[in-house]
Amino acid sequence: MHPGQDFELEQDPPPWSADLARDLELGALLNAMAGGDKFLFDVAQRALLRGLTDPAAIRYRQDILADCLTSPTVVREMYNLAVTVVEGERKVFFGLFFRDSPDVILHRSVQVLEFFTGHLRTLRKLADEHAGNFHSAGVTRLFGMLTEELSDEYFTEIDRHLATLKFRRGVLISAGLGTGNKGIRYVLRKPREQGWLERLSPGGARWLQLRDRRP
Amino acid sequence: MRNGGSCVFHSILFDRPADAARAGRGQEPACFHDLNLDQVVNLMTTGRAEYELAQFCYVPLHDAASVRYRHEILHDLGNEPVRAAVRAFAAGMRDMRGQLAQVRKLRYRYQQERWFVDATNTYCAAVSALADCLAELDIRSRGFRELRDYLAGYTSSEAFTSLVSATRTLYADLASVTYSIHIKGNRVRVSDYDGEPDYSAEVEKTFARFKQGAVKDYRTGFRDWPDMNHVEAQILDLVARLNPEVFRDLDSYWARNQDYLDTTIASFDREVQFYLAYLELIGPLKQAGLDFCYPGVSAEPGDISADRSFDLALACKLVPDKLEIVPNDFLLESPERILVVTGPNNGGKTTFARMFGQLHYLASLGLPVPGRQARLLLPDEIFTHFEREEDITTLHGKLEDELTRIHQILGQATASSVLVMNESFTSTTLSDALFLGTEVIRQVIELGLAGVYVTFVDELTSLSDATVSMTSTVVPDNPAQRTFKVVRRPADGLAYAAAIAAKYGLTFERVKERIIP
């Protein structure tokens, strides 16, 4: 919305908004823009009521609008992607309470991140495929950011973490001795790459295993 | 010992070991209930049950030097830095007992042993701190000086210094133990920590770019208790097997140091509470403007006096309610030995009698007593003879019981005893009460006892030059209102009657005025 600053979604509309909207019959226009989407209605209202005065800023928006008119499908797809993600997160986290065990919280968090990552990949792909069709400074910068920050290496790193965070190979924790010789300073540790089995194989590795006392 | 001190410290309460030996075997003295001293001791020992201070209250001293030994110590304790040092020491010792209690509560040995190290560490710190403070503070009493020398010797002894250094080493060794737990399903493996990186930090770093502003904290609180579950205990066992030297040291520390507590120091910790408890009891009374003084004491019969004294038990009750305490004076100068108190009922006679008994008991405990100044006898025994409710189980009459008790008292009393008699022989006729009272006072005088005799029989006030008459007084314009002042004055029962008569316009003159037409 702006070349050099964030769009203030939270800012209150100016005090004359109500009169202005009535005088200009803005309601009809906003409804048409939103098409029943409350979020879009909000954004449109805020944008319309805070008009621009700097020609460069107006040109910035006009260029982006031109891009959108040229490739409406891609832009709609990107917006739908965002809507899917926001609603999807709500679904996964629905029913998560503070009472839940750390296990459950971790499990759900990994699920949410997996879901996000999938859609971030799609977004990256859209940017990759259609970058050539967009020429405005605004969209070009957005696509550039997506390509740069959501690199393949970054996705690989995330995937590795999400796999590790399922702790299929168990959890490694370091600790010290505190009051009454109870464990203190518990820290989650990253097992060495060669893996536990190698370290624990015969030849000097020191570990001791707890007896399983399940009934 | 430093200063070439010839005496070795034994006790902060008793300069004579013989007295110390009596403490612990003492029973509540018979006079306690009559003198309300049981209430005083209750208040004094509240919140200090662990010290069993009542035992010390049951052992009066009979030697003026022993009393002075305590007075000197109390003077030192009046010095706030000294008291603060003792309080800090006591707090340390109390913490130590808490840690030892934890040792007894826990089931796993390595847990017990660790709490035991904490207890000895607390002890060493408390003792060292007290020794250091006493070395620097201005202390005058023989007791504290000897304690200072004792502590200086103790804290520089091989036993103590090696305990301190063993504790320090053990703590350092235990702190250096770090281990890893690998949990997979129901299998738990314990190994030495091998420098594996902090994984939480890595994950946070990867996702940091998505963090915009404050986020909700999903972390779960970790509950912690002193004891362990069986899994933690087994893990600890495995940690011990991975670090055999450290835990062998821990085992032997536990085995070697069970008797670490020095009995003299432990006794001091307990005994010094006797002083602190009393000082805390009288603190609010002094703030309310009441006087306390160190009485002059003598085990030999002599002059007895007190200025502006009061009943301590009553003061403890009234001061919190901001009610007024009326102080009283008395003086017994040779050949006087007995205060005979008469006067209107509820005029403070019993309170006065209690005060007399309390003063002597508190003085013989070596404590400051109520009053601006006092000279008191260190009695070999304080006898009380208070009017009692008739006891149906004895099948004896009240008078018979009273006579039996006074007979026993007179059989045991000496010239160094104190006797407090309150409303004795009231269950008989005036002439019998006069006869019995006269006989008792005659014997009391013969024995040379010092005491108070509260009675309604005016004639008893002037039996001999050994008796002094004192009367409770009323406000002249309003005889129903007591002043609670008991003053040295010839008994004149008629004075009280006249006051009442005057108030109601029944004096001879007023009546005559009305009769004459």
For residue A169, which residues of chain B lie inside 8 Å, CB to CB?
A: 184
Is there a contact between B187 and A109 if contact means CB atoms under 8 Å apart?
no
pLDDT of residue B7: 59
pLDDT of residue B480: 67
Whether the CB-CB separation of B379 and B506 falls below 8 Å is answered with: no
Look at the block and give the residue holding tokens 């959108």.
A68
For B408, half-sphere exposure in the C-beta direction (CA atoms, 13 angstrom radius) is 9
For residue B231, which residues of chain A lie inside 8 Å, CB to CB?
A: 210
Mean per-residue pLDDT of chain A:
83
Q: Are strands B450-454 and B338-342 parallel, antiparallel or unpaired?
A: parallel
pLDDT of residue A42: 85
Neighbours of B480 (CB within 10 A): 11
Q: What kind and span of H or E run contains B186?
A: none
Which residues, in sequence order, are CB contacts of B267 under 8 Å at separation 6+?
B11
Domain borders along chain B are: 13-174+259-271, 181-213+228-242, 288-515
Q: How close does chain B come to A179, measured CA to CA in Å?
A: 7
3-state secondary structure of A24: coil
Q: What kind and span of H or E run contains B305?
A: strand B304-309
ipTM value for the complex: 0.80
pLDDT of residue A204: 43
pTM of structure? 0.81
Is there a contact between B228 and A182 if contact means CB atoms under 8 Å apart?
yes
Domain borders along chain A are: 1-51, 53-150
- How many contacts does A have with B, using Cβ atoms within 8 A? 138
Tell me if chain A has a CB within 8 Å of the CB of B254.
no
Counting every residue, how long is chain A?
A: 215
For A170-197, give one letter per residue: b (16+ CB within 10 A) or e. Answer: bebbbbbbeebbbbeeebbbebeeeebe
CA distance A142 to A4: 13
The CATH class, in words, for B288-515 is alpha beta
pLDDT of residue B269: 98
For A3-24, give one letter per residue: b (16+ CB within 10 A) or e. Answer: eeeeeeeeeeeeeebeeebeee
pLDDT of residue A98: 57
pLDDT of residue B347: 80
Which residues, in sequence order, are CB contacts of B82 under 8 Å at separation 6+?
B76, B133, B134, B137, B139, B144
Which residues, in sequence order, are CB contacts of B413 under 8 Å at separation 6+?
B381, B383, B419, B444, B447, B449
Tell me if chain A has a CB within 8 Å of the CB of B141.
no
CA distance B320 to B487: 27
Which residues, in sequence order, are CB contacts of A172 under 8 Å at separation 6+?
A188, A189, A190, A191, A196, B180, B181, B182, B196, B199
Q: What's the average model confidence in pLDDT over A188-206?
A: 60
Q: What is the mean pLDDT of each run of 10 residues along chain B (517 residues)?
A: 58 91 86 96 95 95 96 97 98 97 95 97 98 96 97 96 97 96 88 91 88 75 82 92 96 97 97 97 96 96 95 96 93 93 85 97 98 96 85 72 91 95 82 88 93 88 88 76 82 63 73 75
Q: Report the candidate in A150, A145, A4, A143 with the shortest Cα–Cα distance to residue A74.
A: A143
Greater confidence (A118 vs B490) lies with A118
pLDDT of residue B52: 94
Residues of B (197-236) whose Cβ lies below 8 Å from A = 197-200, 202-203, 206-207, 209, 218-220, 222, 224, 226-228, 230-232, 234-236
Q: Which of A165, A189, A209 sits opposite B197 (nearest CB)?
A: A189
Q: Are strands A183-189 and B178-184 parallel, antiparallel or unpaired?
A: unpaired
CA distance B417 to B338: 12
pLDDT of residue A200: 52
For B250, half-sphere exposure in the C-beta direction (CA atoms, 13 angstrom radius) is 26
pLDDT of residue B5: 44
pLDDT of residue A112: 86
Cis peptide before B335 (omega within 30 of 0): yes
Most A CBs within 10 A among B103, B194, B225, B238, hence the mutation to make, goes to: B194
CA distance B450 to B415: 8
pLDDT of residue A193: 65
pLDDT of residue A201: 46
CA distance A182 to B114: 10
CA distance B238 to B216: 38
